[in-house]
Structure 1
Amino acid sequence: MSVNVDPEIDELRQLLEAQLQLHTDELSTLTAAGADPADAGEDPQTVTERITAASQAVADTTAALARIAEGTYGRCERCSGVIPAARLAILPRARRCVPCQARG
C-alpha cells in the first residue's frame, strides 16, 4: 500500500518539526533560567510568562503534528471545514478556520 503525501502538507510538517525543536530548545533554556531568573538578566515574571508561552507553543505544535499523522490536519476542529492553505502557511499550528477562531 503506497501513501500519497501532499507536498504542501509535507513542507508544513517539516516546518512544524523545525518549530517544535526551536520551542523545545527555548523551553529548556527558559526552564533553566527560571531556576535562577537573575542568570537570564530578566524579571522573574517575564521568564515565567515566556515559559508559559513556550510550553503552549510546544503543545500546539505537537498537536498539529499529530493531526498530520491522523490525516485531520487542515480541518477546523469546530466546524470540520477546510482551513485555507494561506492560513496554514502563516500559522501552521492553526486548529480552527478564521470564522470559528473569531467566534472564540
Structure 2
Amino acid sequence: MLNRQDQYEGLRSALEEQLQRQTDELTELTIHSGEPERNGHDPHQIAARIATTRQSLADTAQALRRIADGSYGRCGRCQADIPVERLEIRPHARYCVPCQAKGA
C-alpha cells in the first residue's frame, strides 16, 4: 500500500498536467478575446471562460505550492488530514468535507 507522500506524487503529476492544460486554454482564450467578432465568438462568453480558467489556474498553482511547502493534504481550517480519496476527486481541495460544509 502506498503511503500518503507516494500518493501525493501522483496527485502532483496530475496537478502539473492540469496547470499546463489550463495555461494553454487561457492562452487560447486570450487570443480569441482580442478579436471576438472576427472569430465568431461571444465576447461575454469568452470573458466568463477567461475568469473561470484564471481561478482554476490559481487553485491549481496554490495546490502545487502546498505540496512544495508540505501543507498539502491538511485541512486549512482544522488541520486534519484530508482523505486521499477527496484529493483524488478534487486535487486542489483546501478543506476537509466537514469544514467545507461549514463554509471554511
- TM-score, normalised on structure 2? 0.89
Q: What one-letter code is carried by the residue in structure 2 that aligns with 1:35? A: G
C-alpha distance in 2, partners of 1:60/1:13?
13
C-alpha distance in 2, partners of 1:35/1:79?
44
Secondary structure at 1:55 match in 2: helix
C-alpha distance in 1, partners of 2:10/2:44?
36
> 5+ unaligned residues in a row in structure 2: which ranges?
none
- TM-score, normalised on structure 1? 0.89
List 4+ stretches of structure 1 deviating above 2 A.
Answer: 38-42
- Sequence identity of aligned pairs in percent? 50
Secondary structure at 1:6 match in 2: helix
- Does structure 1 residue 89 correspond to structure 2 residue 88? yes
C-alpha distance in 2, partners of 1:47/1:35?
10
Structural mapping, 1:1-104, within 5 Å: 6-104=5-103
C-alpha distance in 1, partners of 2:93/2:56?
11
CA drift of 1:100 comes to: 1.3
**Aligned residues, how many?**
100
